[in-house]
Copies of this chain bind each other. A is one copy, B any other.
């Protein structure tokens, strides 16, 4: 999500191959060069694909001789998105003999955000085909994975002038609606806040199910919804 003050990222950690086989797996990854760039990436889709993608990006960013092409060398966020898209496409086509499409079982989608000195903070959504779209003022947030349950509250309560605390609350309410409706999404959540021109990905937190504020929000939201519902006019037939 992009705000006037910066970017906010949140991901769940549930990975599953059917309801009888699920585990906790981090889906948010960050790279930074102090005072120069901060890049955050979140994944959805086939875990083998997204792990390969991250490993390729990591290797290419740490081993000196393999550093080209590296996301730490690209001059702009747009070029980083192109590189991540090309790498994603390469990974998927390696597993999938018929090429790569959004419907593919090896598919994955990526949210990529951050800032490189000289540019503005921005966010991209990258498709399995390797192409991507950039966030705009008209579409100030992206969702990947199980997006539908949590969308209505985002549409209604988002405000670009929110402070980070309210934005995190909004993301928690959105994720909470999804968690209550779909077993493939689950706690803990990973959270990261990026303040404009900080070039730092250090403001992170893992939010567990027993987090006191999360508990207050999840319980409070159910009651608040019911109270709000009572205030609406009934429909006499």
- Segment of A90-98, A129-137, A148-156 in the binding face: A148-156
Q: How many residues of A contact B (CB 8 A)?
A: 44
Question: Do A232 and B216 touch across chains, with their CB atoms under 8 A apart?
Answer: yes
Smallest Cβ-Cβ distance to A214: which chain B residue: B235
- Segment of A60-68, A107-115, A163-171 in the binding face: A163-171
Which chain B positions have C-beta within 8 A of A153?
A: 225, 229
Question: Do B237 and A169 touch across chains, with their CB atoms under 8 A apart?
Answer: no
Question: Do A237 and B203 touch across chains, with their CB atoms under 8 A apart?
Answer: yes
Question: Do B157 and A229 touch across chains, with their CB atoms under 8 A apart?
Answer: yes
- Segment of A21-29, A70-78, A173-181 in the binding face: A173-181
Interface residues, chain A, with chain B CB atoms under 8 Å away: 148-149, 151-153, 155-157, 163-166, 168-170, 172-173, 177, 180-181, 191, 193, 203, 205, 213-214, 216-217, 220-222, 224-229, 231-237
23 contacts between A and B (CB under 8 A): A148-B149, A148-B181, A149-B151, A153-B229, A155-B181, A156-B180, A157-B225, A168-B235, A169-B229, A169-B233, A169-B234, A173-B229, A191-B237, A193-B237, A203-B237, A213-B233, A214-B235, A217-B233, A220-B231, A221-B228, A224-B228, A224-B232, A225-B225
